Structures are given as C-alpha cells and as structure tokens.
Amino acid sequence: MDWTNKHILVTGGTGSFGKKFVEVMLNEYHPARLIIYSRDELKQHEMRTAGFNHPNLRYFIGDVRDLDRLRRAFNGVNLVVHAAALKQVPACEYNPMEAVKTNILGSSNVVDAAIDAGVEKVLALSTDKAVNPVNLYGATKLAAEKLMIQSNAYAGGLTTRFSCVRYGNVVGSRGSVVPLFLQQRETGEVTITDERMTRFWISLEQGVRFVIRCIEQMQGGEVFVPKIPSMKMIDLAKAIAPEATMRIIGIRPGEKLHEVLISEDEARSTVELADMYVVQPQAALWFGYDWSEKGSILPEGYHYASDNNTEWLTVADIQAMVNGIETHLEKGAG
C-alpha cells in the first residue's frame, strides 16, 4: 500500500494513540496529508508546541457528535482512524448519556460522514471491555463496534469499507493504572483491587503498528485482534513499586476479574493467523473475502481471555516496559 498519496484523518488525534500514530506516520510513511480531528484546542496547541508541526499535518477543531463538521473534515480524505471516545469507566458511569452520545452516536456520525464523503477505509478502535460488557463504557464500545461492522451493509455498493481493531489495556496511556501506581509508589502503599486479577497488555507503539497493518489488510467487516501477552495486576504493582506495601481493596463496580478479547460465541466465526485473530462478520461477508484461506478455524468452545493466555509477562518483562514509559510520562506526554 502506498501511503504517500493518502489523506488520513484521526478522530481523537490528540490522545495517546493519536500522538503515536502521527509520529509513526510522519516519520516512516509520509502521507500526503494527516488531519488531527479533536475538540480540545489546548491539547492541539500543546501538540503543536511539542513538535508536531509538520507541513503535511492539519489540526481541525471538531466533535464526533457534530455530523456537519465531520462531513466538512472528511472532504478529500481517503482513510479514517476513529479513535475518539469517552473511555474513563467511572466518568462514563456517572455521565451515561454523554458516553452514549460520544461513543455510539459519534461513531454513527463517523459512518455517515465517511459514506457521504467517499472515504475508502474507516478503522475504528475498540477494546476488550466491549466483549461481554459489565459497565456502560464496555456496552457503548460494543454498540459502536457492532454499528461500525454492520454499516458495511450501507456501503455495499460504494467504495467505503468499515473494520475494527480490538485490543487490551495500553501500557502508560491516559487513564492507565501505571501512572496511578507510580504516584502511589511515593506513599509506600499500592492499592490492588484483587490479587487474582489479570489483564491483556500492549504497548502504544505495538497498538499503532497493528492498526497500520490492519488498514493495509482490511476488506471490510473484520474485527482484528492481536495476540498479546497477559499480566497479573499484582505483578505490575511489584514491578513498579517493589518496596511498597500491597493493600487489597476489592473489585470496583463495573470491573472484571479477567478480560476477554474473543468470546466463545465469536470464536465460531474467527480465523487464527500467526500473530492475530480475525473475527469475520457472522451476518454476511459483504465483500466475499474469506480469511479462512489465510489461517485456521478455532476449535469448538475456544475463547481468548486474559487468564487462559499462553503468553505471560514476568515481573522483569513488566519492569522493562514501565522503564520505557516512565520518562515519557514525566515529560507530560501521552
């Protein structure tokens, strides 16, 4: 795929993912135009002053809730990466309709604007919390994911294609537990909700490069899931604050003991490749692409969860990851 003639827009482009995506794109892929679409002028200003001022970079103020603004922003755009979302679980629980308006209705607006503007590909970012959701954030992301995939039905006779990527917690991103543990380390006590808790983990750069690969390969209708390691939350705490006391505080409302990236029901339509899974749409393969030719069908009863993973991070592995982001966080990035 030749990226040099592509006009790319990233919703929520001033966030952790957006910044890293822009960095990798400008340094390695050199697109013709790269648009940051976000609603916070201060974050855009801070991004510019941090060095993101490439001549091919554009900054658009706008909210995904505003369909007219999206239509204007999508004019002449080839590829859209939809990363805008309200993702803080407590904030979504306390402001439920705001989460619905941004995560669900905002995604619907992205679909409509992309079809109207003739965008070639839209890849939306999802989360493991969208699988069997137990909180409102997960429920809105599930709805957004289904909406994005099923909207290929609207685009069947047009050029626009919609797919999703779904992965676990991003180490060091905004809202990650890593900054909290770093802060608690100074007090000598780190709080753990449950010592059995496990999570999928992926680095910001791994997430960005996975998204780029999926844009190149997507045909429309797929949910791409990377094979990523799990870690025990208590091991994360030990890696960050080995000298601190661990205090168990109990699972919070809307929190799972373990996360799932592929449910047992989804596994029946999922193809396993060497380094990822591709969840094919169950209702229809609109564009006739059969991923099973490139991989293998999963066995009956399979599900991909953070506690049944075959790959685990050790405390030493986690320390190496944390050391790589600690300086980054101290500088106020991401």
Which residues are the active-site residues? Answer: 129
Neighbours of 60 (CB within 10 A): 18
Burial class (CB in 10 A: 0-12, 13-18, 19+), 168: buried
| CA atoms of 84 and 92, how far apart (whole Å) | 14
By the 8 A CB rule, do 215 and 222 touch?
no
User: If DSSP codes are grouped into helix, strand and coil, which group holds residue 252?
Assistant: coil
By the 8 A CB rule, do 38 and 14 touch?
yes
| CA atoms of 98 and 87, how far apart (whole Å) | 11
| Start-end of H helices in 40-135 | 41-49, 67-73, 89-94, 96-99, 106-117
Sheet holding 169-170, edge to edge: 169-170, 198-202, 230-232
Quick one: DSSP state of residue 299? Answer: P
Phi, psi (deg, nearest 5) at residue 257: -75, -40
CA of 238: how far to CAs of 4, 101, 255, 307, in Å? 44, 38, 21, 19
The angle at the Cα of 2, spanning 11 to 59, to the nearest 5 degrees, equals 25
Residue carrying structure tokens 């661990």: 246
Q: Which residues pair with 10 in a beta bridge?
A: 36, 81
Query: Structure tokens of 24?
Result: 């990798």
| CA atoms of 59 and 44, how far apart (whole Å) | 7
| CA atoms of 242 and 238, how far apart (whole Å) | 4
Phi, psi (deg, nearest 5) at residue 295: -150, -155
